Structure 1
Amino acid sequence: MLKNTIQKLTIVLALALLLAPTIISAQSNLDIANQHKILLDTNIEVIDTVSYAGTTYYVIKYNNILPYASGIEIFSADGLQITDPSVAKSVLTQTAWKDAATRLKPSDIDTLKDVLDTSREIYGAVAPVASATSFVIDKVNWLRSEACIDIPFVGKKCAWDAVKAAYPGISMVESELGSLNKDLNAWKDAAQGVSNTLPKVISGLEDLKAGKEMDPELQTNIQDGMAAFGTLKTKTDEIGIRLSDVISTLSDAESSTRSAAGTPVVGEFISTFADCVGDLNDEVKSLRADARSFSSSLSDQSSKLSDVVDTANKKMNELYDSWNLRRNASVLVYSTLGGIIAVIVAIFGVLIYRKRRKDGENIVKKEKMEKEDYSMMSYIR
């Protein structure tokens, strides 16, 4: 019987020893928070639990009787208090973005997807016009150097001479198209930049909204996406006027070169070139109409992406300021209490001094009265 009892106790003790580390390590966030309370703290609020770089952190809000001693503390799951500003910012950034993501409505995510769709539509609309512009630039070079025919006994007859005579501004067309091509490629690259970054942003925000761990690259992706989006919107807003100027130039070039299409021998070359200019002009006109639509869409959508960033940044700054405020909370509390005690002691000192002074005056007054009474009695005698 005794032997069985000893065996059971041995098993219980062994299990207790095995489970002890687990029990100790399984402290709740409130247990950890309570261990770091300071004087005059009233209540504790668990703001968030964050998984970052493989470590779990607790973001705790302490309320103190003294408002300026209230603030945020961050603890790791093993109870370590975080004092490194860079770690604090990383953790609080996750909390801020998580909060911003929870405020997103399904329609907001849809709007971000609309932005992505718009950027892809812009790329799809610009790419063929950029290619057509390059093609016409090549045609200008062809017209200048290759659109010639050798005529026996007469010599070489070139289409460029006839076009230049009919339209002296042909040299400016080449320069104008070169500038347009540069602008179109910049616009296209901006659209591609949004298309490359926004899918990561949308995916990251959807994961956050679903309660998953924040991707460490999310904030960078959002910043990159915002920069690309800003460039895209600027290019889209500006391109409309640019395209209108190009349309005017191409219209003049087409009509003038067609007037020279009847030139003997090289007229067919000129007609081919005029057709290319006319086709490009039609594409630019279509793109201008699209650009107006894109600009309107981007204006409606732009606030969504900036709103979530502004909300998250504002929240992160508030959290970090609160964390920073808590750094000297103990010193502030004790210095305040020390000041209050000093004032109380001073007041008591003044009161005691006044009382003693009054008591002294009363004693002097009493002694004086006694002397006067004594003198009076002596006189009567």
Structure 2
Amino acid sequence: MRHRIVLAGFGNVGREFARLLLEQRTELTREYGLDASIVAILTARHGSVENARGIDLRKALRLADAGVSLESCGRGIPKRSVDYIRDGRADILIEVTPLRISPRQIALDHVRAALRSGKHVITANKGPVVYHYRELRELARRRHVGFRYEGTVMDGAPVFSLFQEALRGARVDSFEGILNSTSNLVLSEIEAGRTYEEGVAAAQRLGFAESDPSLDLEGWDATMKACLLANVVMGGRLRPEGVPRQGIASVGAESIRDAKSAGKRVKQIARGWREGRTVRASVSVEAVGPDHPLFSINGTSSSLVVRTNMLKEFQIIEHDPGLRQTAFALYADLIAIHEGRLSP
């Protein structure tokens, strides 16, 4: 079965997904009977193009990596991206445009346009899911289309599919985790004797931090993820602006090294918990000892400790993920939709 994909966003994650699709195309066909073609790429900086027969992804990757327009990959798209998504003949939208901390954002417009026009949606963009999860879930159900978002938290680790598929019937009572790779790497680098600036530069070289890493360093990314988990798996109604938040930008190198001398490590920890019928969340920077389950999570690794009414406490750990792991989340969601598993 052929799936025609519109890819909204062609930054680090979008390009890595394109590479993965190229590498796995034969296996997708052989193992799953899935013929996936990207028929349009929508970008803010490199132009937007379509090709009904499928865009030459190798050429698109070369052009984007060189920082030039994609216009030679197909026919230019004169419409606004929202109008194109609504009117286009594709059947899947993959939304990986940059994160925005706002209820109103172009990514939300993209997702709404796709769902309302009967298209499946796969996204690694936290914004629409955090602010409008219930609306988008119900819209997808009414239109009988897929809405999947595994790549929004912990890259390719199976977080939402675990909670919403394998652990159906279990109530999540609380969670705590290290959810931002950039912040965790910078803290680890400072602990090892490097400067804050060197830690940020290392995260940028690895592709985790953008040229403006403020969303990571000021705690917004971790707060978005904490709210997303609280809202999706705990039934909360949180917005990141109302959640106590501490980024690592305010943490001095001396306090990190003092913690190390005392046998502790400084970590940014995102939490969610229940107070009666209310779900709450926070993001804080604190020193933890060797007996804490997040003590050993260093570098770009991430982890989530979950407490439920059925399985008590368990921990998910993802060691040193890269862009490939986020791209894999999109890839796995694509297979799930192809197989009829429309939501996690």
TM-score in terms of structure 2 length: 0.23
Task: Identify the structure with the greater helix proportion.
Answer: 1
Task: Identify the structure with the greater strand proportion.
Answer: 2
TM-score in terms of structure 1 length: 0.21
Ranked by relative contact order (alpha carbons within 8 Å, sequence separation 6 or more), the top structure is 1
